Structure 1
Amino acid sequence: MKVLCVAEKPSIAKEVTSVLSGGRSTRRDSRSKYNANFDFKFTFPGHGLCDVTMTSVTGHITSMDFPAEYAWGRVPPGRLLDAPVKIQPDKSKLAIHQNIANEARSANYLMIWTDCDREGEAIGYEILEAAKKGNTRLSLSSVWRPHFSHLEKNHILSAARNPQNLNMKTVEAVHCRQEVDLRVGASFTRLLTDILRRSKLVDEIVSYGTCQFPTLGFVVDRYKRVKNFVPEKFWYISTSVEKSNQTVSFSWAKTHFFDRLFVVMLYEECMKSTHGTIKGVTRKPTSNFKPFPLTTVSLQKDCATYFKMSAKEALDAAEKLYQSGWISYPRTETDMFPPEMDLRSIIQTHTQDSRWGHYATSLMTVDGKYGIPRKGRNNDKSHPPIHPVKYVNLETITNDKQRKVYEYVVRRFLACCSTDAKGFQTVAELQWGNETFRASGLEVTEKNYLDVYTYRTWSSTEQLPPFVAGERVNLKSAEVKEGKTSPPNHMTETELIALMDANGIGTDATIAEHIHKIEQRSYITKKKTGKSHIILPTELGMGLIEAFSSISFANNISLSKPFLRKRLESLLKEIEEGRATKEFSLRETISLYKNAFALTAEEQSVLVNEFKKFQT
């Protein structure tokens, strides 16, 4: 019996071949320079020893487009919202198509080794369609779908021996998303470009995307809040007490007021008392909680914060580590480890490292050091949290970004398997007149996970002197002070990722690409300020968002806010879960965009006038 295996990337094909063949395979070139064929034998349960050929693709091998008669300039842009679409082989990947068709001719089964996510399922279906060109006997019933999240030997062997079916509901969700993106993106891109070119405001193509514009909208909104911010004065009462040669500042429980006269009145009432009284002192245990298991969004946010990497750079580095077999699949929403996962065996492999090996050893040997990982609220049921699969000496990782990401993944994993940091929080409460003030001190007694997770800090503060409840104290200082409100900070990539995730803009796997696209299109720019990078809108990006904001769309319809895209992402999940059909979801979504398109076309003069305000 013959089995044709197809992986999503050449590197994955090579690694899986090595495992399944036991290192005994022969390599043949194909018509595609980078997608070789590997021949070997493998025993599949119920089928015995089979002849196997492993080959690969490079992501999607088909593209969705309109027929030629709907090319730019041949039809009004609005026609694209109803125009027929076609799925055809990507012209740049015809050699890959032909190789799959050729290798499938004698195959009895097709085994799809694509990434186990939404896009991977759709690519698997594209592979089946290509294989059917060479072997019409192949069908969905002939497809084996291994589910794997990393390239460790036993994991791959188990996936090969326990394949599942290709999930056509997921494929339909991807096709729905692709069609919405094509129709909406093409129609609005042509409309915007035509309007602004006729007005001689732009020369280039002005590209619209259903995820890119809400992402840009977040940046513009923050920029406007900073620019338009007007500081406001406030007043508060500040006090301090001296005891045991130590000066302790107490914070007002009411924090502050914007009415100076009111604060002065309270202060004058307090001044009738010549001393204060310690109402109480509490000393309670406190903890600094270890992190949740690692998701894609958390990886991107932390790499932006700790290493100043863009979301795309972080995900690209993680992808390379995954393809090398060093970490698990880096696209996951799951923040809880499955109960059957052998976490201790992973820890054991890291006891040899010179940087974190001593800590890993303590987790294995010292009572109380190991802690059951926290459980988050998300489980995509496809992949576990990101974690190290194999131990690698950092010195052997030549790429700086990959080295940083690998170390971060390891330290995060070890932190998850640790106990929380522990300490004591002491709070003293001061009564002066009718007002209450508080001072606090922190004593860290056990750092625990912080010993390995060096990206966070939590340290003891100066300890409070031995205040006693009921004691009278003289105030060293007491005065009314003035402050003013501060503007919000400009957007950082960490914050932008969090906003996109919270508002359903894209998925954990596509957030990085959306940010990268609006930067490529010169809608945003990144600027270094001190040790951090901020994201600012360009004049083009600012003009586009403000132009759309000037149009009075109906409730919950906006081309620069997340409402429409969030609704689409919700519908895609319903398709996957069988609660909605592709046809219904497509019809509902396109109907909303049609309304927005009609109003945009009708009020294009408003759009142009607003856009002009932001062009120099």
Structure 2
Amino acid sequence: MKVIIAEKPDYAKTITEALRTNGEKFTRCDGYFESSNYYATWQFGHLFELYTIEEYENREDKKWDESILPYIPRPFKFRLKKDPGVRKQFQIIRNLINDNKVNEIIEAGDADEEGDLLIKLVVSDIFRRDKLNKKRSRLWSTDQTTTTILESLHNLKDVDTYKSYSNSAYTRTCMDFLLGINLTRKFTLMNSRITGSRDIFSIGRCNTCIVDFIYQRDMEIAKFKPEKYVQLESAEETNGEIIKLVDEEKYSIENIEECKLIAQKLNSNKAVVKDIQSKEIKKLPPKLFSLTELQGTLSRRYKIGMEESLDIIQKLYESGYVTYPRTNSEYLSTEEIPKIKRVIKAHSNENIHLQLKETKRIFNNEAIESHSALIVTDKVPDISKFNKNEKIIYETIRNRFISNFLVDETIMNQTVITIGIANKEYKLKGEVIVKKGFFEFEPLPKSKETNRLPNLNKGDFINIDFRPIEKQTSPPKKLTVETLVKLLKNPLNKEYEDESLKIEDMKKGISIGTDATRTGLIKNIKKYGYVTDNKGVLSITNKGIYLIEKINITEYVEIAGYHYQEIE
């Protein structure tokens, strides 16, 4: 007899449904399912939590005491949550593990760091209390389809196979206590003593760094002083079409008279089409989604917030329609090729022709830390039963998968028209779609919709009338949810010409937060009143300004932001 412990009730039910296809007959009991070979039970996520400072000190008084800060537990201790439902479920799990018929415990947390830790804490505690020594295995399933679950059950791993994952989650939890609990209490009490305010100032390993990003951008905007400059432009009609030419040279506003003289010289010459070069190119689709890229896309295109999008993506995952969502990779593993063949078959029809493409742009084992890109599975839903945003999110994931495996190529005709005026050249560039290919499934960029060139031939003369146009520099743009999550993923703001360098930095952990935690981090900084979110546009509040200006953010980032690399 084996006990399967799932992270959540829905996953336990999904596992039993998969086993039923293999002939298992389950009965629903109080807190678990039972068959002749399995008990399938569940947790409600984390059943254990760290002690509070007061519990370490055996104090009934919950009032914060500044005199004992910084508080460093030795050792860190976890305890069962006090919620009656949690305690009841823990006892059910304990009784099942202690059943004399049981000879193996299968830990079926989500395939990530927290999923590995939260069940290990429960099982290890029961083993310690009851002095047990039974076999422990790990079910590691990248999606919740019947096929993948059965394959994972057939290929169970030793419970310590992913020990580095639970160790990482454990260390991060302890770091969050050391930094978050201590600094939150210290800053809040200090502020209360100075101002009399009872406001809580939550300070965290990552969230304070995120607040600082938004603060710095808003301060740049507030301090920005526009500078005027002049550029020469011509926008004259030739053969019924307005042809706009812009001189790249920028002149200071004080030199406008010099600019006018240059315009006169240009206008005294004829403008002729010197060359027209056209070529057809194959356009590649955007890469498969990581969670960060997907949430950024949903925010930009549809104004769907990170919390709502993650809830829906998680629901789609638990229903077996998409793969594990909390991934930072945009690539698939070559080991998944048999599964991808099934997905391709499931999503092909008379109008959509897909084929396997074993290119490194899609299959790249070196670019995967733990989980592959977020894609659809071979379980195809009835989308008529989805609400509006569920449909949008599922189709966004599905269409990205289709775009990458589509038989039809995307062909663009690129044209460059070179116009000569005296010794200067001006280039007009445009693209026209020859074969839509993946643009049947991905939105056409706005630049492609309007980037049509005038009808000109080599040797044609065009009308020009250059004039100095007064312009001014623009302030930095406000951070949006999409630009923020990209910044968190690449806080050094590097431009990568070589994809392998980007992958190398990803593996080093050079980022703020992870794809699994960023939604919660941004939710918290809004909850504590540090920033506001207006349709995806983020702004610092007075409370956020106060926090950042009162702490040494440079020193804090050195302590908090880069210590996480040591965990890995």
TM-score tier after normalising by the smaller chain length: 0.7 to 0.9
CA contact (8 A) 1:97 1:130 kept: no
Matches within 5 A, 1:371-410: 374-375=361-362, 378-397=367-386, 399-410=387-398
The correspondence for 1:479, drawn from 467, 470, 473, is 467
SS in 2 for 1:11: helix
User: How far off its partner does 1:267 sit?
Assistant: 1.3
The correspondence for 1:185, drawn from 177, 180, 194, is 180
The question of 1:148 aligning with 2:149 is answered: no
The question of 1:63 aligning with 2:56 is answered: no
> Residue in 2 aligned with 1:225?
220
CA contact (8 A) 2:481 2:538 kept: yes
* Matches of 2:115 and 2:175, distance apart in 1: 19
Matches within 5 A, 1:362-511: 362-363=353-354, 374-375=361-362, 378-397=367-386, 399-418=387-406, 421-454=410-443, 456=445, 458-459=448-449, 461-468=451-458, 471=459, 473-503=461-491, 504-511=511-518
* Matches of 1:358 and 1:494, distance apart in 2: 36
CA distance change for structure 1 residues 237 and 64 in 2, over 3 Å: closer, same or farther? same
> Residue in 2 aligned with 1:593?
none
Matches within 5 A, 1:130-209: 130-132=125-127, 135-138=130-133, 142-166=135-159, 167-200=162-195, 202-209=197-204
> Residue in 1 aligned with 2:3?
4
Percent identity of the aligned residues? 21
User: How far off its partner does 1:39 sit?
Assistant: 1.0
2:45 maps to amino acid:
G
User: How far off its partner does 1:537 sit?
Assistant: 1.4
SS in 2 for 1:444: strand
* Matches of 1:310 and 1:380, distance apart in 2: 27
User: How far off its partner does 1:21 sit?
Assistant: 3.1
User: How far off its partner does 1:416 sit?
Assistant: 1.8
SS in 2 for 1:174: helix
CA contact (8 A) 1:104 1:134 kept: no
CA distance change for structure 1 residues 120 and 460 in 2, over 3 Å: closer, same or farther? same
Worse-superposed segment, 241-250 or 298-307? 241-250
Please list the CA deviations of residues 552-586 of structure 1 after superposition, one character each: whole Å capped at 9, or x if unmatched. x7xxx433x4x44431231122xxxxxxxxxxxxx
> Residue in 2 aligned with 1:538?
541
> Residue in 2 aligned with 1:79?
70
User: How far off its partner does 1:268 sit?
Assistant: 5.1
User: How far off its partner does 1:181 sit?
Assistant: 0.4
* Matches of 1:498 and 1:461, distance apart in 2: 27
* Matches of 2:307 and 2:189, distance apart in 1: 31
SS in 2 for 1:558: helix
* Matches of 1:286 and 1:322, distance apart in 2: 37
2:345 maps to amino acid:
Q
CA distance change for structure 1 residues 333 and 547 in 2, over 3 Å: closer, same or farther? same
CA contact (8 A) 1:26 1:40 kept: yes
User: How far off its partner does 1:379 sit?
Assistant: 0.7
* Matches of 2:404 and 2:263, distance apart in 1: 52
Please list the CA deviations of residues 514-562 of structure 1 after superposition, one character each: whole Å capped at 9, or x if unmatched. 000111111111124xxxx3111121112111222xx4x7xxx433x4x
CA contact (8 A) 2:226 2:472 kept: yes
2:28 maps to amino acid:
R
TM-align CA RMSD:
2.6
User: How far off its partner does 1:53 sit?
Assistant: 0.4
User: How far off its partner does 1:295 sit?
Assistant: 1.0
User: How far off its partner does 1:273 sit?
Assistant: 4.0
SS in 1 for 2:465: strand
SS in 2 for 1:237: strand
Q: Structure 2: any 5+ residue segments left out of the alignment? A: 492-510
* Matches of 1:494 and 1:459, distance apart in 2: 23
User: How far off its partner does 1:372 sit?
Assistant: 5.8
Matches within 5 A, 1:72-111: 72-74=63-65, 76=67, 78-81=69-72, 84-92=75-83, 93-105=86-98, 106=100, 107-111=102-106
* Matches of 2:267 and 2:298, distance apart in 1: 54
User: How far off its partner does 1:329 sit?
Assistant: 1.1
CA distance change for structure 1 residues 125 and 346 in 2, over 3 Å: closer, same or farther? same
1:11 maps to amino acid:
D
CA distance change for structure 1 residues 79 and 220 in 2, over 3 Å: closer, same or farther? closer
SS in 1 for 2:317: helix
* Matches of 2:539 and 2:136, distance apart in 1: 48
The question of 1:275 aligning with 2:270 is answered: yes
User: How far off its partner does 1:146 sit?
Assistant: 1.7
Matches within 5 A, 1:272-351: 273-339=268-334, 340-351=337-348
CA distance change for structure 1 residues 381 and 175 in 2, over 3 Å: closer, same or farther? closer
User: How far off its partner does 1:298 sit?
Assistant: 1.1
Please list the CA deviations of residues 167-204 of structure 1 after superposition, one character each: whole Å capped at 9, or x if unmatched. 22222221111111001111111111111111225222
> Residue in 1 aligned with 2:555?
558
* Matches of 1:346 and 1:393, distance apart in 2: 16
CA contact (8 A) 2:320 2:377 kept: no
CA distance change for structure 1 residues 204 and 335 in 2, over 3 Å: closer, same or farther? same
Worse-superposed segment, 263-272 or 489-498? 263-272
SS in 2 for 1:477: coil
User: How far off its partner does 1:6 sit?
Assistant: 0.2
CA contact (8 A) 1:273 1:433 kept: no
User: How far off its partner does 1:460 sit?
Assistant: 6.2
Please list the CA deviations of residues 361-415 of structure 1 after superposition, one character each: whole Å capped at 9, or x if unmatched. x336xxxx98968337731234453323411121112x43323211211112111
1:85 maps to amino acid:
F
> Residue in 2 aligned with 1:520?
527
> Residue in 2 aligned with 1:251?
246
TM score, norm. by length of structure 1: 0.80
* Matches of 2:282 and 2:526, distance apart in 1: 40
CA distance change for structure 1 residues 290 and 125 in 2, over 3 Å: closer, same or farther? same
Worse-superposed segment, 7-16 or 285-294? 285-294
Please list the CA deviations of residues 226-245 of structure 1 after superposition, one character each: whole Å capped at 9, or x if unmatched. 22221111111113465433
> Residue in 1 aligned with 2:496?
none
1:462 maps to amino acid:
R
* Matches of 1:75 and 1:406, distance apart in 2: 49
CA distance change for structure 1 residues 24 and 382 in 2, over 3 Å: closer, same or farther? same
> Residue in 2 aligned with 1:112?
107
* Matches of 2:555 and 2:490, distance apart in 1: 17
1:410 maps to amino acid:
R
SS in 2 for 1:80: coil
CA distance change for structure 1 residues 195 and 135 in 2, over 3 Å: closer, same or farther? closer
Please list the CA deviations of residues 232-283 of structure 1 after superposition, one character each: whole Å capped at 9, or x if unmatched. 111111134654333321232x352336527617715734842134343221
SS in 2 for 1:442: strand
> Residue in 1 aligned with 2:205?
210
2:354 maps to amino acid:
L
> Residue in 2 aligned with 1:601?
none
> Residue in 1 aligned with 2:18?
19
User: How far off its partner does 1:219 sit?
Assistant: 1.2
